[in-house]
Structure 1
Amino acid sequence: MYVSETEIVVRYAETDQMGIAHHSNYPIWFEAARTDFIKNMGMPYSKIEERGFMLPLIQLECRYKGAARYEDKLVVKTSVKQISYTRVTFYYEIFKCCDNSLITTGETVHAWTDRNLKPVNIKKHAPDIFELLNKAIL
C-alpha cells in the first residue's frame, strides 16, 4: 500500500476562540493531502481534469481523537482505501509531529465523472488512471 505524507502547520486563522484548530479545517487539509497523494503517484490532479475527468466528493467522514493548536506541525498520511470503476475512497490519518499522536482519522469518497458530472467508468475511459490509483492499494 502506498502512503503519502503532507505537512501542515496550523495557522492562527484556523483556530477558534479556544485556540484549537476548528473542525472545518480538516476537510481542507484532507484535500491538500489528497492532491499531494495523486501528484506523488505520478499524475497531478490538474492533468486528470485536463483529460475531462472529475472527482466530486460524495461522502466525508471525520473522527476527532485529539486537538491541534496554533503553530502545531501536523502530518497527514493519505492512502487509497478502495477503488472501483466508478468511485475511489481515500483514508487519512493526522498526527501531531511533536509527539506523533494521532489526532484525527477520516475518509472521503469520490465519484468518477465527466465535466458535466455524469458518472463514468474510469477503467473503461482511462485505464491508466485507474491502474495508477489501483496499484496504490496493492
Structure 2
Amino acid sequence: MYTHTTQIRVRYGETDQMAYVYYGNYASYFEVARVEALRALGMSYKELEEEGIMMPVLENHSYYHGPAVYDDLLRIEVSILEMPSVRIAFHYKLYNEAEQLVHSGETKLAFINAKTKRPCRPSEKMLALLRPFFENAEKN
C-alpha cells in the first residue's frame, strides 16, 4: 500500500452560506491529494501526459462524516491499496485540525493512450516506483 499525506487550507470561496465546505469542492481536494501523492512518489501528471498517458476519472465517491469549515487546515491522506493495471483507485481520508474525520472518498481513474483514446497500462516508471510498496502483498 502506498500512502501520502498533504494539507490544504479551506478558503472562503470554497464554503457555502453556513461556512461549510461546499460538497462539490471535495473532488478538487481529492485531485490535489492524488497529484501531490504521485509527485511525492516521483511521477508527476505532467510526466505521464508527456509520455502520452491521460488519466480520466471513471468514478468519484464521497462520504460526509462532519463539516469542514472556512479556514480549517485539512490533512488529506491518500492511499493506493492495489497495484494499478489499466485502472487505479485512490482512497482519501480528510481530517480537521482536531483530528476528526470529516470526509472520506474514493476515485477510480483509467490509464488512456492520448493518441488512440484506448485503455493502456501505466508507464513502466510508475509501476517501478509503486512496486516496492506492494511486494509483501504480492508474496501473500
* CA distance in structure 1 between the aligned counterparts of 2:43 and 2:75, rounded to whole angstroms: 22
Are 1:93 and 1:106, in contact at CA under 8 Å, matched by a contact in 2?
Answer: yes
5 Å-filtered alignment, 1:90-129, equals 90-97=90-97, 99-116=98-115, 117-122=117-122, 126-129=123-126
In the alignment, does 2:77 pair up with 1:80?
no
Are 1:9 and 1:74, in contact at CA under 8 Å, matched by a contact in 2?
Answer: yes
CA distance change for structure 1 residues 76 and 20 in 2, over 3 Å: closer, same or farther?
Answer: same
Q: 1:134 offset after TM fit, Å?
A: 4.1
Aligned residues: 134
TM-score (norm 2): 0.89
Are 2:2 and 2:81, in contact at CA under 8 Å, matched by a contact in 1?
Answer: no
CA distance change for structure 1 residues 137 and 75 in 2, over 3 Å: closer, same or farther?
Answer: farther
Are 1:60 and 1:108, in contact at CA under 8 Å, matched by a contact in 2?
Answer: yes
In the alignment, does 2:132 pair up with 1:131?
no
* CA distance in structure 2 between the aligned counterparts of 1:129 and 1:14, rounded to whole angstroms: 32
* CA distance in structure 2 between the aligned counterparts of 1:45 and 1:63, rounded to whole angstroms: 26
5 Å-filtered alignment, 1:1-138, equals 1-97=1-97, 99-116=98-115, 117-122=117-122, 126-138=123-135
Deviation string, structure 1 residues 87-119 (Cα, Å, up to 9, x no partner)? 00001000002x100011110000111114311
Are 1:74 and 1:94, in contact at CA under 8 Å, matched by a contact in 2?
Answer: yes
Gaps of 5+ in 2: 136-140
CA distance change for structure 1 residues 77 and 134 in 2, over 3 Å: closer, same or farther?
Answer: same
The alignment's C-alpha RMSD in Å is: 1.4
TM-score (norm 1): 0.90
Q: 1:137 offset after TM fit, Å?
A: 4.4
Deviation string, structure 1 residues 53-94 (Cα, Å, up to 9, x no partner)? 111100011100010111111011111023332100001000
Gaps of 5+ in 1: none
